[in-house]
């Protein structure tokens, strides 16, 4: 299946590089977060990517045009500067770079790449700023079994950075708990869509606030529950947490290293 990646965000809540690079280009280890997302999909055989570019799309284009396989692969150096790769990352990937507007929302970006998905019964999509150990084949199989569903997203528990507060009418707090200890679930940004999603997109609409609300009313939107690892990179603290997992070589999302099918 083709994979649509929404990668036009500016990363305004990040420090340092977030002021100059699109958020998907902020790194975890030697590679940007978008690479980790793409490598995840490629692990499951989905290697045809459509990048919805926006803010600093030139940085994303330049990165892949100048891609250096030696950074994340073992190799042998002989005869001074001859490189013999022992493995490759993106050699069999197909990447379409599509300018979808600096100020466009997710719904507009998706609509802008509709022609690149012509003839596709189903396709995948992603916010390109979060990683997971989700069993993608299981999610796709579940979605296929619901013929009436137009879209599905992975439903995850949020991290513990925030707390949920309850209070009396007079303002006195009655409880305060980590949000991860509550029953609250959020959209994890991993999607499966049928081609019909484009019939529900109206000009200028944001994906979740428009089409998703109508699909909910029609009972045609699924949430696939995942209680395994999920982490996003909205803040510097979250970026550092992902970096720490990578450095310790305990990154759960790197299924290509563990050989998880």
| Beta-sheet pairing, 186-194 with 75-78 | unpaired
Q: How many domains does the chain have?
A: 1
Spatial separation of the C-alpha atoms in residues 106 and 52, rounded to whole Å:
9
Tens of pLDDT, residue by residue over 190-228, are: 999 999 999 999 999 999 999 999 999 999 999 999 999
What's the whole-model pTM score?
0.91
Spatial separation of the C-alpha atoms in residues 180 and 246, rounded to whole Å:
22
Q: For the chain, what is the largest distance between any 2 Cα atoms, rounded to a whole number of angstroms?
A: 78
CATH number for the domain including 122? Answer: 3.90.550.10
Tens of pLDDT, residue by residue over 77-97, are: 988 789 898 888 888 999 999
Range of the domain at 246: 2-258
Tens of pLDDT, residue by residue over 22-32, are: 889 999 999 99
Q: Tally Cβ neighbours within 10 Å of residue 16.
A: 11
Contact 128, 5 (CB under 8 A): yes
């Amino acid at each position: 299946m083709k994979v649509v990646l929404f990668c036009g965000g500016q990363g305004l809540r990040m420090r340092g590089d977030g002021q100059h690079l699109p958020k998907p280009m902020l790194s975890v280890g030697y590679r940007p977060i978008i690479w980790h997302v793409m490598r995840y999909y490629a692990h499951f055989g989905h290697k045809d990517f459509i990048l919805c570019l926006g803010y600093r799309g030139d940085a994303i284009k330049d990165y892949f045009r100048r891609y250096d396989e030696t950074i994340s692969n073992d190799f042998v150096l002989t005869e001074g500067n001859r490189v013999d790769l022992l493995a490759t990352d993106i050699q069999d990937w197909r990447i379409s770079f599509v300018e979808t507007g600096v100020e466009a929302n997710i719904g507009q970006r998706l609509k802008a790449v509709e022609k690149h998905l012509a003839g596709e019964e189903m396709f995948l999509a992603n916010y390109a700023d979060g990683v997971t150990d989700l069993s993608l084949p299981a999610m796709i199989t579940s979605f296929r079994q619901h013929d009436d569903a137009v879209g599905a997203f992975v439903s995850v528990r949020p991290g513990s950075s925030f707390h949920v507060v309850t209070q009396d009418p007079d303002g006195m707090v009655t409880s305060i708990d980590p949000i991860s200890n509550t029953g609250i679930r959020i959209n994890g940004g991993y999607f499966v869509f049928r081609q019909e999603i484009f019939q529900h997109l109206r000009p200028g609409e944001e994906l979740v606030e428009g089409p998703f609300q109508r699909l909910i009313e029609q009972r045609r939107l699924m949430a696939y529950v995942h209680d395994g690892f999920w982490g996003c990179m909205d803040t510097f603290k979250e970026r550092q947490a992902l970096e720490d997992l990578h450095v310790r070589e305990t990154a759960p999302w790197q299924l290509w290293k563990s050989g998880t099918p």
